[in-house]
C-alpha cells in the first residue's frame, strides 16, 4: 500500500453529502458529474462494503479533516455543514485498498443546490438516483435508515 503521509485528507476517504428536512422528512443526496454519489471521486469498479471497525481502514478521527477539506474544496459555508459521526462505513476496492465513507449533512432550511453547483453537483431524491452503483445505493440505504428510521443498518 502506498505511503499515506503526504496524501490529502480525502485520499482514502469519501463523503456523502445530504440534506434532511426534519419537517417534511425530505432526504436529498448530492450526485456528481461522474454519476457518483461520493465526493471527491467515485469508487473503483468492484468495491464492496465491509465492517468499519476493520483496522485497515483510515481512522474515523480523520473525519473532521475530511469535513474541512470538503468545505474548502467545494467552497461551502462551514456553519451549514454537520458531520454525522454515527455514520461510519468502510469499503474495500478491487486493488485491496480501503476507504472510509463519511456523511456530511447540510443544516439549512432547503437543500443548498447553489452551493454544490459550481463543482457540478446536484441534489436528488433517492428515487431519482436509481441506476447508481449498487454499493453506493447500499450506503444511501444506511443513511436513510439513520436519518429517517433512527437507526443504522436495515
Q: Summarize pLDDT for 78-127 with one digit per residue, the tens.
A: 999 999 988 888 888 878 788 889 999 998 989 999 999 999 999 999 99
pTM for this entry: 0.86
Question: What pLDDT does 3 receive?
Answer: 42
C-alpha cell at 142: 444506511
13-147 placed in CATH 3.90.79? yes
Name the pLDDT band for 154 (thresholds 50, 70, 90): very low
- The reported pLDDT for the residue numbered 123 is 97
pLDDT level of residue 8 (50, 70, 90 thresholds): low
In contact, 75 and 115? CB cutoff 8 Å: yes
Cβ neighbours for 24, distance < 8 A, ≥ 6 positions apart: none
Return the higher-pLDDT residue of 17 and 64: 17
Amino acid at each position: 500500500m502506498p505511503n499515506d503521509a503526504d496524501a490529502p485528507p480525502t485520499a482514502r476517504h469519501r463523503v456523502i453529502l445530504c440534506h434532511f428536512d426534519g419537517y417534511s422528512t425530505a432526504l436529498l443526496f448530492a450526485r456528481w458529474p461522474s454519476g457518483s454519489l461520493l465526493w471527491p471521486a467515485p469508487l473503483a469498479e468492484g468495491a464492496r462494503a465491509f465492517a468499519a471497525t476493520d483496522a485497515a481502514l483510515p481512522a474515523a478521527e480523520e473525519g473532521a479533516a475530511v469535513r474541512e477539506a470538503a468545505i474548502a474544496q467545494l467552497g461551502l459555508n462551514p456553519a451549514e455543514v454537520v458531520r454525522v459521526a454515527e455514520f461510519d462505513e468502510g469499503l474495500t476496492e478491487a486493488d485491496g485498498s480501503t476507504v472510509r465513507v463519511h456523511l456530511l449533512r447540510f443544516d439549512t432550511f432547503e437543500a443548498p443546490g447553489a452551493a454544490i453547483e459550481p463543482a457540478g453537483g446536484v441534489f436528488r431524491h433517492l428515487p431519482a438516483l436509481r441506476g447508481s452503483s449498487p454499493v453506493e445505493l447500499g450506503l444511501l440505504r444506511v443513511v436513510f435508515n439513520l436519518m429517517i428510521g433512527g437507526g443504522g443498518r436495515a
